[in-house]
């Protein structure tokens, strides 16, 4: 038995190469073993594309995850990067340690709503506080998939499971949480909107510090039925037409395929469409309070705000806060770390 | 009535009872350090509450010219500065002993004993007259008792003055002077009113400049510094907190660029112990030497991650400064209660390398060894210190460093090696020692692999296949077995013709050695083996089998070392006798001797043991 099927490495002539001569295939990983149509696979594809477009050498990346469906996905991209599938909800501390040791590593963490908002809520919050230099993607589907469909902490009040009682507890919105904790890059996107997601991932990778992207990624097996607030049907019945703008372009190649002030219909796996709203034209992603209020307002109205919602490029990251030396700690020569026998002898005199 | 003690020079114990948060800790260390400077073997045990201010606290000092400085448990002099604990404190005085109390207030009638000598000194009143301000009066009262004790037992006043000068320096001269004035107040009063010195007294011994006075937590921190650890992660917990305080201090001293202030270290104060363990594992995985200081409750929380590090084969160093459990237990009391926990921490089949330092000297060397072992065997390594070793000052040989030392990084493949390889498989053992080579992230594309705590085969692939799973698990077992020869060997201390054996570890050492000498002097030779590392080397089993009866001496209720020995050697648990002390106080010689006598049926009448009978010999059935 295996849940990881290697893909053959075949070089196709004529495939486009990036600045370092690699094709998109060089950024892929093993075959996905997730359910057919899973939103997570679309996110994986967006990650592959973003890294390829940015010409990041795969082996300079470390991809980290916790436990859950989402946490399986680092296997499916960047096969030439070290991966670490750690324990449930604890990926942020692994990332903190990896970043502490080698600040040159490009860190991408993939987590889920159970991983980040329940068992790992504390670690998620504290990685934000530390402003660990990493891209953190939360693949948010409102349910636990591997244990067969229990609600997660991001499930809305009234949302119905396939079987059993509807959810009665208020959801934790990771975007509001990240904003309130002082996150320096907060975005939301949708797994079905590659054209929006890829630029956001690229922007997140470009960000120095903790770049958080909440990606709504519907679960085709456990949370796409009548009564689920993550299903298209529910969304359609509660949608309100409000005009929004999208993300602030960080790089010239970021393009938006819908005009400002419009809503967009996104095709879901089951053929239905969900509306994601773009942000208002006067939206200022550098105003934390306004961003918070805006997202709250959308939520109250049953809408989902997407895009780069907040950005602070001036805040120091974890190493900046501590004034750690620019050379990764892993590369410091031992002689620069160990004071040696002479200093020990001097030190011993202080203990008499 | 005063029992006429024979003069006991450099061989007695005293206990000081105070209230915490009143400066008594400084006063007590001053006294302890002064005695150390006089060249006399001394130990100080701080018995303190889990509290910031206002609760009872005690400090025990033992001097012994022969170097036996385990906790005494009996006191010739009691300095009672806390009237809330008078009643209990006085009970601990030996008949004929002396009670120094603050006679600013009368002693309650109810606590009178007629077999001790009362020495009342109005320290609070004198300090109230000599100093100003409530806080100063309180602090100086405690410094004043140092003076009174100095007069009573002959502490060198010049040394006290020198120590105060060193402490306060030229910049705080006024403070130094008021401290010394308080010392003099107590000293002069005692000289004028008591028969000084008492029969229990100090006499200078040759000062040995190869000795230092240091606590185990500082020593652990120094070991981490010298081992080249660059990442430390922790969550504050008594009694381990001062490890990271000290590490930070040393790093600021030695690893900070004098011009830019740039740091060659990173310390993460984590949100909890789970995260601390995660940071250590993440940093070690990325190639740094990383550690976390903690105590039992922290190990409990870290257990999930410990299993990950074991199974995914990531080096990680855990410094467990043990305290009294279970649960919150008694956070400011000592115990050796985490022996089993650390040996097999986490769910599933796990087994971990453990090191057991007996004093600050070994805390220093074993901290360094822990990193070498963790990297060589790519696995968690635990250093099990305890509160007594960690937080009390110990006299030990000054630390030495061999400049030729280089970290043992184990099998780590660099870019050049990876470039030449056809393929790299993370969990493939190519030379039969059970250790597969690892690669670090960011080095070379060929080194890439997927680290996971889920089932994996020798090629690093996810698996749910029985054979592939067992293949890796069996190799890891072999690998950890191999560490038995790499951990520090047991220390043997033999006596001629011994049929009994003592087996102990860690902070029990001083008391066990003293008990061994005590028994030998009374005609009962006992061999002593102190285990220093786990998995146990073969010599541990040989020692047990080579003795008619072995006593396992440890500081926990359930005989955890005994259980560990039984599990690991196959010797029946009941074939080993236990001598246990688990009330939270450091072990004393008397506890060992009493336990031994009770178990053997030997007697210690009038201080002499009767001819050893063959009691108990027939009970032994060797497996």
CATH number for the domain spanning B151: value is 3.40.920.10
If asked whether residues B244 and B140 sit together in one domain, one would say: no
Cβ partners under 8 Å of residue B178, min gap 6: B131, B136, B140
Long-range contacts of A254-259 (CB under 8 A, 24+ apart): A254/A199, A254/A202, A254/A203, A255/A195, A255/A199, A256/A195, A256/A196, A257/A195, A257/A196
- What is the model's pLDDT at position A229? 61
User: Are B148 and B259 in a shared domain?
Assistant: no
pLDDT tens-place string over residues B397-414: 999 999 999 999 999 999
Same-domain status, B344 and B439: no
Whether residue B316 is found in the same domain as residue B462: no
Q: Are residues B357 and B502 in the same domain?
A: no
In a domain, B372, yes or no: yes
> What CATH code is carried by the domain that includes residue B561?
3.40.50.920
User: How many independent structural domains does chain B possess?
Assistant: 4
Instruction: State the Cα–Cα distance between residues B529 and B357, nearest whole angstrom.
Output: 14
Domains parsed from chain A with CATH numbers: 24-324 (3.40.50.970)
Answering whether pTM is above 0.95, one says no
| Facing B231 at nearest CB: one of A329, A344, A348 | A329
Q: Same domain for B496 and B579?
A: yes
Let me know: does A153 contact A172? Beta carbons within 8 Å.
Answer: yes
Q: Encode pLDDT of B38-60 as tens digits.
A: 999 999 999 988 888 888 999 99
B208 within some domain: no
**Cα B126 to Cα B182: distance, rounded to the nearest angstrom:** 9
Length of chain B: 623
Domain final position from B373, B397, B421: B397
Residue A281's pLDDT band, with cuts at 50, 70 and 90, is low
pLDDT tens per residue across span B195-219: 999 999 999 999 889 999 999 999 9
Residues 6+ apart with CB under 8 A from A197: A42, A43, A46, A189, A190, A191, A213, A215
Shared domain check, B131 and B219: no
Q: Is residue B209 in some structural domain?
A: no
State how far the alpha carbon of B72 is from the alpha carbons of B68, B149, B323, B382, B520, in Å.
9, 19, 20, 29, 19
Determine, for residues B268 and A130 on separate chains, whether the beta-carbon distance falls below 8 Å.
Answer: yes
Together in a domain, B248 and B368: yes
The mean per-residue pLDDT over the stretch B288-314 comes to 98
Report yes or no on B195 lying in a domain: yes
Round to whole Å and give the CA distance between B37 and B31.
Answer: 10
B206 in any annotated domain: no
> B236 and B345: one domain?
yes
Interchain contact B274–A (C-beta under 8 A) = yes
The H or E element containing residue B319 is: strand B316-322
In the predicted model, what is the mean pLDDT of residues A106-122? 96
Flag whether B253 is in a domain.
yes
B59: Cβ–Cβ under 8 A, 6 or more apart, which residues? B15, B16, B18, B24, B25, B28, B44, B45, B46, B47
Average of pLDDT values for A162-173? 89
In a domain, B145, yes or no: yes
Q: Are residues B387 and B425 part of one domain?
A: no
pLDDT given for residue A11 in this prediction? 66
Q: Alpha carbon B74 to chain centroid distance?
A: 21
Most confident of A146-155, B133-142, B398-407: B398-407
Q: Tell me, what's the pLDDT at A303?
A: 77
DSSP per-residue string spanning B68-97: --SB-S-EEEEEE--GGGHHHHHHTEEEEE
What are the residue ranges of helices labelled H in B194-295? 216-227, 241-254, 273-285
Distance CA B97, CA B117 (A): 6
Q: Using a CB–CB cutoff of 8 Å, tell me whether A93 touches chain B.
A: yes
- Mutation target for A interface from B279, B409, B451: give the one with most A CBs within 10 A: B279
Size of interface A-B (CB pairs under 8 A): 236
CA distance B367 to B355: 9
The residue among B201, B224, B250 that closes a domain is B201
How far CA A282 is from CA of A176, A189, A197, A285, in Å, comes to: 20, 20, 22, 10
Q: How far apart are CA A45 and CA A65, in angstroms?
A: 17
Residue B198 per-residue DSSP state: P
pLDDT digit string (tens) for A237-266?
443 322 232 333 333 333 334 444 444 433
SS3 content of chain A, % helix, strand, coil (to 5): 35, 20, 45
Whether B416 has its CB under 8 Å from any CB of chain A: the answer is no
pLDDT in tens, B91-128: 999 999 999 999 999 888 877 789 999 999 999 999 99
Ramachandran angles phi, psi of B600, nearest 5°: -90, -15
Mutate to test the interface with A, among B278, B346, B364 (most CBs of A within 10 A): B278
Q: Is the dihedral angle over the CA atoms A140, A143, A147, A148 positive or is it negative? A: negative
Half-sphere exposure of A251 (CA within 13 A, CB side): 15
- Does residue B2 fall inside a structural domain? no
Instruction: Looking at the complex, report in whole angstroms how far the Cα of residue A209 sits from the nearest Cα belonging to chain B.
Output: 16
Would an 8 Å CB–CB cutoff place B234 in contact with chain A? no
For chain A, what's the residue count?
Answer: 352
Residue B304 and residue B379 in one domain: yes
What's the rounded Cα separation, in Å, for the pair B279 and B211?
A: 36
The residue in chain B having the minimum alpha-carbon distance to the alpha carbon of residue A328 is: B264
Q: Each residue of B243-273: pLDDT tens digit?
A: 999 999 999 999 999 999 999 999 999 999 9
The two structure tokens encoding residue B22: 């009143």
pLDDT per residue as tens digits for the range B412-467: 999 999 999 999 999 999 999 999 999 999 999 999 999 999 999 999 999 999 99
Which of B446, B463, B485 corresponds to the end of one domain? B485
B591 and B496 share one domain:
yes
In this prediction, residue B2 has a pLDDT band, given cuts at 50, 70 and 90, of very low
Categorize the per-residue pLDDT at A10 as very low, low, confident or very high, splitting at 50, 70 and 90. Answer: low
Q: How far apart are CA B413 and CA B549, in angstroms?
A: 49
Q: Distances from the Cα of B43 to the Cαs of A58, B17, B32, B60, B359, in angstroms?
A: 58, 16, 8, 8, 12
Residue span of the structural domain in which B450 resides: 412-485
CB contact under 8 A, A2 and B454: no
Q: Are B507 and B356 in contact (CB under 8 A)?
A: no
Query: How high is the pLDDT of residue A206?
Result: 84
Among A90, A230, A217, CA closest to A160: A230
Confidence of residue A145 (pLDDT cuts 50, 70, 90): confident
pLDDT at B337: 98
- CATH label of the domain that carries residue B278: 3.40.50.970
The yes-or-no verdict on residue A202 having pLDDT over 90 is no
């Amino acid at each position: 038995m295996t849940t990881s099927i290697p893909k053959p490495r075949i070089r196709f002539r004529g495939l486009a190469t990036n600045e370092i001569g690699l094709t998109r295939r060089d950024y892929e990983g093993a075959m996905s073993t997730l359910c057919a149509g899973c939103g997570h696979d679309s996110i994986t594809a967006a990650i592959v594309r973003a890294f390829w477009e940015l010409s990041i050498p795969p082996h300079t990346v470390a991809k980290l995850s916790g436990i859950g469906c989402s946490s399986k996905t680092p296997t499916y991209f960047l096969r030439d990067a070290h991966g670490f599938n750690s324990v449930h909800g604890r990926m942020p501390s692994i990332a903190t340690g990896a970043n502490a040791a080698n600040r040159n590593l490009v860190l991408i963490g993939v987590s889920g709503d159970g991983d980040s908002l329940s068992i790992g809520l504390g670690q998620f919050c504290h990685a934000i506080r530390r402003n660990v230099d990493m891209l953190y993607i939360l693949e948010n589907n409102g349910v636990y998939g591997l244990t067969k469909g229990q609600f997660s902490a991001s499930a809305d009040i009234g949302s119905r499971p396939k079987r059993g009682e509807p959810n009665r507890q208020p959801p934790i919105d990771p975007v509001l949480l990240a904003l309130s904790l002082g996150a320096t890059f907060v975005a939301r996107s949708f797994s079905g909107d590659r054209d929006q997601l890829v630029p956001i991932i690229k922007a997140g990778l470009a960000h120095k510090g903790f770049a958080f992207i909440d990606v709504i990624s519907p679960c085709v097996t456990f949370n796409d039925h009548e009564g689920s607030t993550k299903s298209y049907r529910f969304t359609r019945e509660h949608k309100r037409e409000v005009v929004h703008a999208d993300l602030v372009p960080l790089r010239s190649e970021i393009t938006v395929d819908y005009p400002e002030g419009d809503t967009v219909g996104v095709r879901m796996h089951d053929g239905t469409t969900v509306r994601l709203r773009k942000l208002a034209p006067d939206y200022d992603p550098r105003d934390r309070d306004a961003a918070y209020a805006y997202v709250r307002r959308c939520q109250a109205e049953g809408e989902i705000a997407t895009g780069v919602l907040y950005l602070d490029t001036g805040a120091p990251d974890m190493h900046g806060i501590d004034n750690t030396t620019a050379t990764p700690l892993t590369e410091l020569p031992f002689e620069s770390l160990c004071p040696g026998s002479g200093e020990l002898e001097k030190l011993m005199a202080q203990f008499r | 009535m005063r029992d006429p003690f024979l003069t006991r020079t450099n061989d007695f114990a005293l206990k000081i009872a105070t209230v915490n948060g009143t400066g008594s800790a400084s006063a007590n260390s001053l006294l302890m350090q002064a005695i150390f400077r006089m060249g006399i073997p001394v130990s100080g045990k701080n018995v303190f509450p889990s509290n910031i201010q206002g609760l009872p606290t005690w400090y025990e000092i033992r001097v012994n010219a022969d170097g036996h400085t385990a906790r005494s448990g009996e006191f010739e002099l009691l300095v009672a500065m806390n009237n809330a604990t008078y009643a209990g404190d006085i009970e601990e005085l030996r008949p004929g002993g002396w009670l120094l109390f603050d006679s600013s207030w009368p002693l309650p009638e109810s606590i009178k004993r007629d077999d001790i000598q009362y020495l009342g000194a109005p320290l609070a009143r004198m300090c109230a007259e000599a100093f100003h301000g409530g806080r100063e009066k309180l602090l100086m009262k405690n410094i004043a008792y140092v003076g009174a004790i100095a007069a009573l037992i002959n502490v060198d006043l010049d040394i006290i003055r020198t120590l105060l000068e060193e402490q306060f320096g030229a910049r705080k001269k006024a403070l130094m002077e008021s401290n010394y004035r308080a010392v003099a107040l107590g000293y002069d009063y005692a000289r004028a009113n008591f028969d000084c010195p008492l029969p229990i007294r100090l006499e200078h011994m040759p000062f040995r400049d190869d000795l230092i006075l240091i606590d185990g937590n500082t020593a652990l921190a120094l070991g981490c510094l010298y081992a080249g650890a660059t990442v430390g992660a922790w969550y504050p917990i008594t009694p381990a907190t001062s490890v990271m305080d000290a590490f930070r201090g040393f790093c600021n001293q030695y690893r900070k660029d004098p011009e830019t202030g740039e740091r060659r270290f990173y310390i993460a104060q984590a949100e909890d112990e789970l995260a601390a363990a995660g940071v250590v594992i993440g940093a070690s995985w990325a190639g740094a030497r990383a550690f976390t200081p903690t105590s039992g409750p922290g190990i409990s929380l870290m257990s999930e991650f410990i299993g990950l590090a074991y199974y995914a084969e990531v080096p990680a160093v855990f410094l467990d400064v043990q305290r009294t459990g279970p649960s919150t237990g008694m956070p400011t009391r000592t115990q050796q209660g985490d022996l089993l926990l650390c040996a097999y921490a986490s769910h599933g089949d796990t087994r971990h390398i453990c090191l057991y330092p007996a004093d600050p000297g070994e805390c220093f060397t074993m901290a360094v060894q822990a990193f070498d072992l963790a990297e060589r065997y790519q696995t968690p390594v635990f250093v099990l210190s305890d509160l007594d070793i960690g937080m009390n000052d110990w006299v030990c040989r000054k630390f030495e460093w061999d400049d030729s030392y280089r970290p043992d990084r184990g099998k780590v493949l660099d870019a050049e090696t990876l470039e030449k390889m056809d393929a790299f498989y993370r969990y493939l053992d190519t030379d039969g020692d059970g250790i597969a080579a690892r690669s670090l992230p960011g080095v070379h594309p060929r080194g890439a692999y997927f680290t996971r705590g889920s089932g994996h085969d020798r090629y690093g692939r996810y698996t749910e296949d029985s054979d592939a799973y067992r293949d890796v698990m069996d190799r890891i077992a072999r690998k950890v077995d191999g560490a038995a020869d790499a951990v520090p060997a047991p220390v043997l201390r033999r006596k001629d013709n011994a049929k009994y054996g003592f087996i102990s570890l860690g902070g029990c050492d001083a008391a066990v050695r003293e008990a061994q000498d005590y028994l030998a002097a009374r005609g009962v030779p006992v061999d002593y083996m102190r285990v220093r590392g786990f998995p146990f080397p073969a010599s541990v089993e040989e020692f047990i089998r080579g003795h008619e009866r072995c006593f396992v001496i440890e500081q926990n209720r359930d005989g955890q070392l005994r259980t560990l020995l039984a599990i690991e050697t196959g010797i029946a648990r009941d074939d080993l006798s236990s001598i246990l002390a688990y009330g939270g106080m450091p072990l004393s010689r008397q506890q060992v001797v009493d336990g031994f006598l009770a178990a053997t049926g030997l007697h210690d009448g009038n201080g002499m043991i009767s001819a050893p009978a063959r009691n108990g010999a027939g009970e032994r059935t060797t497996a």
